[in-house]
Amino acid sequence: MVNSAGTVVVLLGSPGVGKGTQGVRLGRELGWAHVSTGDLLRAARRAGTPLGHEAQRYMDAGELVPDDVIIDLVREHLGGMDPGRGVVFDGFPRTVAQAEALDGVLAGEGRAVNATALLEAPEPVLFRRISGRRSSPGGRVYNVYFDPPERDGFCDDTGEPLIHRADDQPETVRTRLAVFREATAPLIGYYESRGLLVRVAAEGHIDQVYAALLAAVGE
Ligand code: AMP
Answer whether residue 3 shows pLDDT above 50: no
Give the global pTM: 0.91
Ligand 1, residue 58: give the atom nearest the CA. 12
Query: 64 C-alpha to center of ligand 1: Å?
Result: 6
What is the chain's mean pLDDT, rounded?
A: 94
Residue ID of nearest Cα to ligand 1 atom 1: 38
The number of the ligand 1 atom at minimal distance from the alpha carbon of 63 is 12
For the stretch 87-99, pLDDT in tens is: 999 999 999 999 9
Q: How confident is residue 196, by pLDDT bands cut at 50, 70 and 90?
A: very high
Question: Which residues make Cβ contacts (< 8 Å) with residue 12, sequence separation at least 6?
Answer: 19, 116, 117, 118, 119, 184, 187, 188, 191, 197
How far does the centroid of ligand 1 lie from the alpha carbon of residue 177, in Å? 12
Atom 15 (ligand 1) nearest CA: 38
Q: What are the boundaries of each domain within the chain?
A: 8-217
- What are 54-89's pLDDT values in tens digits? 999 999 999 999 999 999 999 999 988 888 999 999
Which pLDDT does position 218 carry in this prediction? Answer: 82
pLDDT tens digits, one per residue of 123-140: 999 999 999 999 999 989
5 pLDDT more than 80: no
The string of DSSP codes covering the chain is --S-TT-EEEEEE-TTSSHHHHHHHHHHHHT-EEEEHHHHHHHHHHHT-HHHHHHHHHHHHTPPPPHHHHHHHHHHHHHTS-TTS-EEEES---SHHHHHHHHHHHHHTT----EEEEEE--HHHHHHHHHTEEE-TTS-EEETTTB--SSTTB-TTT-PBPB--GGGSHHHHHHHHHHIIIIITHHHHHHHTTT-EEEEE-SS-HHHHHHHHHHHTT-
pLDDT of residue 83: 87
Which homologous superfamily does the CATH classification assign to the domain defined by 8-217? P-loop containing nucleotide triphosphate hydrolases (3.40.50.300)
Pocket of ligand 1 (CB under 6 A): 15, 37-38, 41, 58-59, 62-65, 70, 91-92, 94, 98, 167, 176
